[in-house]
Amino acid sequence: MGEPTEGASGALDALNRRASRARVPVWALWELTHRCPLACRHCYLEGAREGAELDARETDLLLRELADAGTVFLVLSGGDPLVRDDFLDVVDRARELGFAWKVLTSGMLVDDAMADAIAARLPLEVSMSLHGLRRAHDEIASRPGAFDAVLGAARRLIARGVRVLLKTVVTPAGAGDVAAVRDLCDRLGARHVVSTRHIPGFDGGEAQDPFCLSDAQLAGQLDGGASAPVGPHRLLRPDEALCNAGRSALAISPRGDVRACLLMREVCGNVRETPLSEIWRGEAMRRLAGLVAGGRARCASCADAAFCSYCPGLAEAETGDPLVPAEAICREARLRRERYEARA
C-alpha cells in the first residue's frame, strides 16, 4: 500500500480531480424538505420554489440513480430533513445503496431516541447551525430555546460517538460571540466552522441586508477568524474551472429540481420529468460545468484577484450571472488584501 496521506492534498483531492475530469457527481446535496422547526431570519430559502416533496417511490428511484451516477457523498439537508417522517427510511436506503451520508439539521428534533437512531446509521457527520450564544442564536432563529436544543443535540450525538460540526454564519448580532462559540465547541468536542457570507434569498435578496457585516466585522472574521492574514494565492488559469459545481457536484431540491450547486438558481432539470443521468449530461449542466476563470470579464484586471475566493453560485444568486462577481465576493477580496497589506 502507498503511504497514507493526511490533509487536503491527499486522497480526497485526488478523488475530486478524477471525478471532475470524468464528470462524475461524487457529491450530492439533497434538500429533503424546506420545512423546518426554526424560522431563521436570514434563511435564503424564503421565496424558494415549493411543491410536493419527492415521495417514497421517487426517493428510492433518485437514490438508485445517484448510486449509478457514482455519487459517494450524500448530504441530506433542508429545511430540516428530520421533520420528514421517513427520514430514517431514506437514510436506511441510502446506506443499503452504499452512500457515505451526512445530515444538516436544526437540532430541534434530536432527542435521545433520534440520537440513538442516527448513531446506529453511522453518519460521516451531523451538522447544525449555531448563530452565536444563547441570546443571538434564539433571536436569529426566532425560537426561544433553540440554542439549548442545539447544545443538547450536540451532546447527545457526541456521547454516542457521532462527529458533530457546528457552523456559525456570522451576523451583526452574533459577531461578538464567535470566539466564545469556538471555545464552546472545543469543550463539547464539536468541529466549528465560520462562514461570513450570506446567501441572497430566492425572493430577491434584500432581506439579507440587515444581516450583512460591517467592513470591520467582516475583516475580523475572514478566513475563519485567522489571526494572521491570508496571503495572495495562485491565480486560476483562464481555462481553469471555477469550482466543482456541475463537474463533480450537484444539488437537488425537495421537489426534484436539479441544480449544479445549492446556490445556483438555474434549474437544469427535474427528476420527476427526466432521468438524473440525462439532466447531468444535459446542455444546461454541461454549460455550468464549463465555467472557467477566464470567463469573468470584470475580474480580468482586478487588483484583488489573488485574494478572492470566487464562488459562481453566490455570483449567480446575487447578480443572475455566475461570471459576474457578487458584491459580497469583491468586498471580501478587498478586505483580505487590505488586511494582508496592512500587516505586510
Partner 1 sequence: MERYYTRSRTVASRVVAGEAVLVRMPDARLYCLNGRASRMWVRADGRATGLALADGFEPSVARAFLDEMVSAGLLERSSSPLEVAEAFPQNVVWPEAPPASEAPEIVDSQPVDTTAGCIPPETEIACYGLPQTFSV
* Residues in 136-165 at the binding interface with partner 1, rule: CB under 8 A: 163, 165
Q: Cell 487590505 maps to which residue? A: 338
Footprint of partner 1 on residues 254-273 (CB under 8 A)?
261-263
332 binds partner 1 (CB under 8 A): yes
By CB under 8 A, the count of residues binding partner 1 is 85
Q: Interface with partner 1 by CB under 8 A: which range of 65-73, 131-139, 177-185, 201-209? A: 65-73
30 binds partner 1 (CB under 8 A): no
Q: Which of 122, 179, 180, 300 binds partner 1 (CB under 8 A)?
A: 122
Q: Could you say which residues in the range 203-232 bind partner 1, by CB under 8 A?
A: 222-224, 230
Q: Pick from 61, 97, 284, 302: which binds partner 1 (CB under 8 A)?
A: 97
Q: Residues 33, 71, 106, 168: which binds partner 1 (CB under 8 A)?
A: 71
Which span sits near partner 1 by CB under 8 A: 4-12, 150-158, 182-190, 203-211? 4-12
72 contacts partner 1 (rule: CB under 8 A): yes
Cβ burial of 16 (10 Å; 0-12, 13-18, 19+) is: middle
Q: Is 61 in the site for partner 1 (CB under 8 A)?
A: no
Are 134 and 148 within 8 A, CB to CB? Answer: yes
Nearest to 243 by CA among 19, 1, 92: 19
What's the CA gap between 132 and 30, in Å, rounded? Answer: 26
Contact, 213 vs 171, CB < 8 A? yes
* Alpha carbon 33 to its chain's center: 15
Q: Is residue 179 a contact point for partner 1 (CB under 8 A)?
A: no
Q: State yes or no: cis peptide before 79, omega within 30 of 0.
A: yes
How far is Cα 22 from Cα 248, in angstroms, rounded to an integer? 8
Near partner 1 by CB under 8 A, which window of 49-57, 82-90, 94-102, 133-141? Answer: 94-102
Task: Say which residues have a Cβ less than 8 Å from residue 33's Cβ, sequence separation at least 6.
Answer: 53, 78, 79, 80, 81, 83, 84, 254
* Minimum gap (Å) between residue 308 Cβ and partner 1: 8
Q: Which three cell numbers stand for residue 211?
A: 444581516
Residue among 83, 199, 288, 315 that touches partner 1 (CB under 8 A): 199
Nearer to partner 1, 163 or 265 (CB): 163
* Closest distance of CB 294 from partner 1, Å: 14
> Which C-beta is closer to partner 1: that of 146 or that of 262?
262
How many residues are present in the chain? Answer: 344
- Out of 39, 193, 216, 300, the only residue in the binding site for partner 1 (CB under 8 A) is 193
Q: Which of 47, 51, 98, 144 binds partner 1 (CB under 8 A)?
A: 98
Show contacts with partner 1 in window 283-322 (CB under 8 A). Answer: 307-309, 311, 313-314
Q: Which of 62, 140, 149, 169 binds partner 1 (CB under 8 A)?
A: 169
All 3 cell numbers of residue 305?
484577484
Beta bridge partners of 245: 249
Of 301, 328, 300, nearest to 314 by C-alpha is: 328
Q: How far is the CB of 247 from partner 1 (least distance, A)?
A: 9
Residue 144 or 189 having the CB closest to partner 1: 189
DSSP secondary structure string, 36-104? Answer: -S---TT-TTTT----PPP-HHHHHHHHHHHHHHT--EEEEESS-GGGSTTHHHHHHHHHHTT-EEEEE
